[in-house]
Amino acid sequence: MPVFQELIHDVQGQAINVCSMFLLLSSFAIVAQRSLASCVSLYAMQSFFLGFTAMVVANASGVHHLYFAAALNFLIKAWLIPRILHRAVDRLNVKREVEPLVNIPSSLLICGGLMILALYFSQPIKQIGPLLTNDSLALGLAIVFIGCFIMISRRKLVTQIVGFLTVENGLFLLATAITYGMPLIVELGVFFDILVAALIFGVLLHRIQDTVESARPAESRFEEVGEVAP
């Protein structure tokens, strides 16, 4: 029944697109959010959609190791890392993002611009990826850029971590879109690195919280010590 198969194929393609759109939307939501705990929850949601996207792609392409990667996604990124971060947030004195360097409406506008930039960048590399996931490529790149923007524009250390993790999620989507995922051993290594990085971030956050009253940006240090900022 070729017609039926075509229909399924179409539905799968649509499902992948919808999931990637949700991923992008949750990144925008992180940009718009000021409560630290909500940022972490939004990140968990984003990772959940990422795992779901990977599952649909695995189903559509028949690349079975993606199921495994999707499972790791649910386990590590959607459950374990948010747990670590929520604990870290509970210990903090200040639970909201202080006055961001760029206010939220203009942040959202800038992220819209980054989205267009990502579309532009992904045009020349579109043809080397498989057709099915063509559109997710630009979305993955956009999420990477938005994650970078979060890291640069926010002052709170927790938001910076969420920005970093958003970048990693964007990278995963990008890799899934362009090659149906990297070889399993590399994928495992990347997951391991992210998990260890999240743990180290958590420990450093505690230590900084202990030595400094509240987690302050690195810049303010130089004025006190009187050294030249790079």
- Residues in contact with another protein by CB under 8 A are 121, 124-125, 127-129, 141, 144, 148, 151, 157, 160, 164, 167-168, 171, 174-175, 178-179, 182-183, 185-186, 189-190, 192-193, 196-197, 200-201, 203-204, 207-208, 211-212, 218, 221, 225, 227-228, 230
* Nearest alpha-carbon partner for 96 in 145, 51, 40: 40
Comparing CB distances to another protein, the nearer of 13 and 129 is: 129
CB of residue 3 vs another protein: minimum separation in angstroms? 29
CA 218 to chain CA centroid, nearest Å:
23
Comparing CB distances to another protein, the nearer of 1 and 228 is: 228
CB of residue 203 vs another protein: minimum separation in angstroms? 8
* Nearest alpha-carbon partner for 176 in 110, 130, 111, 107: 130
> CA-CA distance, 136 to 49, in Å (whole number)?
13
Comparing CB distances to another protein, the nearer of 18 and 190 is: 190
CA atoms within 13 A on the CB side of 133: 30
CB of residue 200 vs another protein: minimum separation in angstroms? 5
Comparing CB distances to another protein, the nearer of 11 and 203 is: 203
CB of residue 184 vs another protein: minimum separation in angstroms? 10
